[in-house]
Chain A
Amino acid sequence: MTPDAERAETTSEPPAIEVEHVTKSYGHFTAVDDLSFAVERGSTVGLFGPNGAGKTTLLRMMAGLARPTRGTITIDSVEVAPDDHTIYRTIGVVTHETMLYDELTARENLRFHADLHGVDDPADRCASVLDTVGLCHRGSDRPTAFSHGLRKRLSLARALLHDPDVLLLDEPYTGLDQRSLADLESVLDGFDDRTVVLTTHDLERGVARCDRALVVDRGRLEADLELDEAASFAAEYRRTIGVESEPKHVGDTTR
C-alpha cells in the first residue's frame, strides 16, 4: 500500500494539496513527468532530488507561476490556475529570489505586498511579521543593506503577511551561514499548524524538518517516504538517486 493510500485510510479530511498526474514540458524536454501525490494538512513535506530534477518547476506550478502541460494541482480543494487568483490568499511562497524591490525599505516592501493581498490593518501586520522574523529594528533599511540571510528572512516575512495556510519554500536553506540557518529554523519551528512543502538539497535539515520525503529525479517521483528514521532515509535517498558516497548535502555542489 502506498503512503498516500495509507493516509487516505486513516483520515477523512481532504488533503491540503493534491497533485494529480502533473506533467510540465518545454518543447521536447519534460521537466516534470506525471507526478501524483497528496499532502496532509499541517504536515511538512520535503521535495528532495539532484539539480535539474524538476523540484523548482513543480513548486512553481503549485504556486501558480507556471501552468502544467497536463494534470491538475489542487490546494484547499481549489484548483491552482494562473488566471484564478483566489488561491493566493491560501498560499505563501518563498523562492530563491526575494521578490522584493531594492529601492524600497523593508517596511515599504511589506506594506506594498500587504496592500496587494488586502491584509486588514496592514501597518500592524507588517510590524508583526517583521517581529516574527527578527527584523523589527531593520524596517527602515533597504534590502540592499541586508545580508543574504536577512533578505531571506524578509522574503519569508513577505510570504507570511496574509497568514497563509500553505507555505511553499524553494531552497530555504541555500546560501545561509550557521547563524542565519539557526534563525530560520526558529522561525520555521513556529509553523506547526501550517502545511509546508519545501525543496532542499540540505539532507540533514530537510530530514529534521519534514514528516515525509518525496524524492524526485528527472521529473519523476522515485520515492515517497515517511521520515520516522532519518538515518534510513539518508541511505534510501542515496540509493534512489544512485549516489553511493555520503556527501553532507547531496546533489548540491555550490554549498
Chain B
Amino acid sequence: MNAFLRAVYRVFRKDLRIEQRTKQVTTSVAVFALLVVLAFAFSFVQTLQRSTLLGRGALWVAFVFAGTFGVTKTVELEDRNGALDGLLIAPVDRSAIYLGKVLSTATFVFVVSLVTLGATTVFLGYSPSIPTAVSVAAVLLVAAVGFAAIGVVVSVLTFRSGLDQLALPVLLVPLVVPLLLAGVELTAALESGSPLGGWLRLLGLYTGVVLLAGVATFEYVVET
C-alpha cells in the first residue's frame, strides 16, 4: 500500500474506531432516519396501500436528511479541539485526508440507509424482492459516496468559515439534487424492471465528478 492510500485508510480507520466506541453518528442519524419513516407512516396512513411509492419516497427523504445530519457529525469531530489542523500538519496529501473522511462518512450514511430500508419495510409495508433490494442497496452505496463527497467539502467550509449550522443544508441540498433524482428514479426503475440507462449514468458520473472536485478543492477549503 502506498503512502497516499495508507493515509486514507488511517483517517478512515480512526473514524471507525471512534464510531465503534461512541456510536454517536450511526445511533443519532439512525434515530433521525427512523423518525422520518415514522412521520411518513403517520402522515400517509390513509394511502398506505401505495406502499411502493411511499417506501421509495420515505427512503430517499430520510437519506437526504439523515445524510446531512451524519456529515455534520463526522466533520464536527474534526472541528473539536482543532483536530482538523492536526491532520493538516501531517506530512500527507490533503486529498488523502479528504478521501478518508468521505469514506467514513459514506460508510455511516450507507449503514443508516440500510436501516432505513428495513424500517420502510416494517412501518410502510415497502417490500421489494431480494434482488431488487440488493440493487437498491447498491444505488444507495454509490449515492452515499456522492453525498459524502459533497457533504464533507460543504461541511468543512461551513465549520471553517464560522457560518451558522443552518447554512449547511441550504448549501448542501441543492448540490445533492442530481443524486436524489437519480436515486429515486433508479429505485422506481429497479422495482418496475424498466431500463436504468440515463439515471445510472447520471448517478455514476455525478458521483465521480463531485469526488474529483472535492479532491481538487479540499486544500483550499480547509485554509483559513
A113 touches B94 (CB 8 A): no
Q: Is A201 an interface residue (CB 8 A)?
A: no
Q: Could you tell me the distance between the alpha carbons of A195 and B17 in the complex, rounded to whole angstroms?
A: 36
Give Cα A14–Cα B219 distance, bound, in whole angstroms. 30
Cα–Cα, bound, A248→B8 (Å): 47
B91 close to A117 (CB less than 8 A): yes
In the bound complex, residues from chain A placing their C-beta under 8 Å from that of B87 are: 116
Interface residues contributed by chain B, number (CB under 8 Å)? 28
> Contact: B83 with A85, CB < 8 Å?
no
Task: Enumerate chain B residues within 8 angstroms of A143, measured Cβ to Cβ.
Answer: 81
Would A116 and B77 count as touching, CB distance under 8 A?
no
Q: Is the interface of B mostly helix, strand, loop or mixed?
A: helix
Question: Does B130 lie at the interface of the complex (its beta carbon under 8 Å from any beta carbon of A)?
Answer: no
Against A, the Cβ 8 Å flags (1 = close, 0 = not) of B68-89 are 0000000001001111011111
Is there an interface contact between A85 and B90, defined as CB atoms closer than 8 Å? yes
Interface residues of A in 88-133 (CB under 8 A from B): 88-89, 91, 93, 95, 97-104, 108, 112-113, 115-118
What is the bound-complex CA distance between A158 and B86, given in angstroms? 9
Complex Cα distance A118/B1, Å? Answer: 13
Q: Which residues of chain A are within 8 angstroms of B7 by Cβ–Cβ distance? A: 116
Q: How close is A60's CB to chain B, nearest CB, in angstroms?
A: 7
Q: Give bound CA distance, A83 to B95, whole Å.
A: 10
- Kindly list chain B residues whose C-beta atoms are within 8 Å of the C-beta of A101: 14, 18, 77, 80-81, 83
B82 surroundings in chain A (CB, below 8 A)? 95, 97-99
Chain B residues near A116 (CB-CB < 8 A): 7, 10, 87, 90-92
Q: A85 contacts B223, CB within 8 Å?
A: no
Q: How far apart sit A98 and B81, CA to CA, in the bound complex (Å)?
A: 6
User: In the complex the two chains form, is B89's CB within 8 Å of A63's CB?
Assistant: yes
Query: Are B85 and A95 in contact, with the CB atoms below 8 A?
Result: yes
Count residues of A near B (Cβ-Cβ below 8 Å): 34
CB distance B223 to A82 under 8 Å? Answer: yes
Contact with A along B6-20 (1 / 0, CB 8 A): 110010001001100
Partner of A115, one of B10, B83, B88, B223: B10
Chain B residues numbered 119-161 whose CB sits less than 8 Å from any CB in chain A: none
**Complex contacts, A65 vs chain B, CB 8 Å:** 85, 88-89, 223-224
Partner of A103 from the list B18, B86, B223 (CB cut-off 8 Å) is B18
The answer to whether B90 touches A100 (Cβ under 8 A) is no
Task: Kindly state whether residue B185 has any CB partner on chain A within 8 Å.
Answer: no
Chain B residues with CB under 8 Å of A91's CB are: 89
Residues of chain B within 8 A (CB-CB) of A112 are: 10, 14
**Cβ-defined partner of A64 (8 Å) among B6, B10, B88:** B88
A86 at the interface (CB under 8 A from B): yes
For B223, list chain A residues within 8 Å (CB). 65-67, 82
Complex CA distance for A102 and B6, rounded to whole angstroms: 23
Residues on the A chain within 8 Å of B18, using CB: 101, 103-104
Docked Cα-Cα span, A60 to B21, in Å, equals 32
**Interchain nearest-CB distance for A32 vs B (Å):** 13
Nearest CB of chain A from residue B100's CB, rounded to whole Å: 10
Q: How far is the CA of A118 from the CA of B7 in the complex (A)?
A: 10
How many angstroms between the C-alpha atoms of A162 and B91 in the bound complex?
A: 10
- Interface of chain B residues 1 through 35 with chain A (CB within 8 A): 3, 6-7, 10, 14, 17-18, 21-22
* Chain A residues within 8 Å of B80, by CB: 101-102
Is B93 a contact partner of A100 (Cβ separation < 8 A)?
no
28 contacts between A and B (CB under 8 A): A64-B88, A65-B223, A66-B223, A82-B88, A82-B94, A82-B219, A83-B219, A85-B94, A88-B91, A93-B89, A97-B85, A98-B82, A99-B81, A99-B89, A100-B81, A100-B83, A101-B77, A102-B80, A103-B22, A104-B21, A113-B86, A116-B7, A116-B10, A116-B87, A116-B91, A117-B91, A118-B91, A158-B86
Q: Residues of B at under 8 Å CB distance from A? A: 3, 6-7, 10, 14, 17-18, 21-22, 77, 80-83, 85-94, 219, 222-224
Give me the 7 closest cross-chain CB pairs, A-B, nearest first.
A99-B86, A97-B82, A116-B90, A88-B91, A103-B18, A85-B91, A98-B81
Taking A82-B219, A101-B81 as known contacts, 20 extra A-B pairs with beta carbons closer than 8 A to each other, sorted by chain A number, are A65-B223, A82-B88, A82-B222, A83-B94, A87-B91, A93-B85, A97-B82, A98-B81, A98-B82, A100-B86, A101-B80, A101-B83, A102-B80, A102-B81, A103-B22, A115-B6, A115-B10, A116-B7, A116-B90, A143-B81
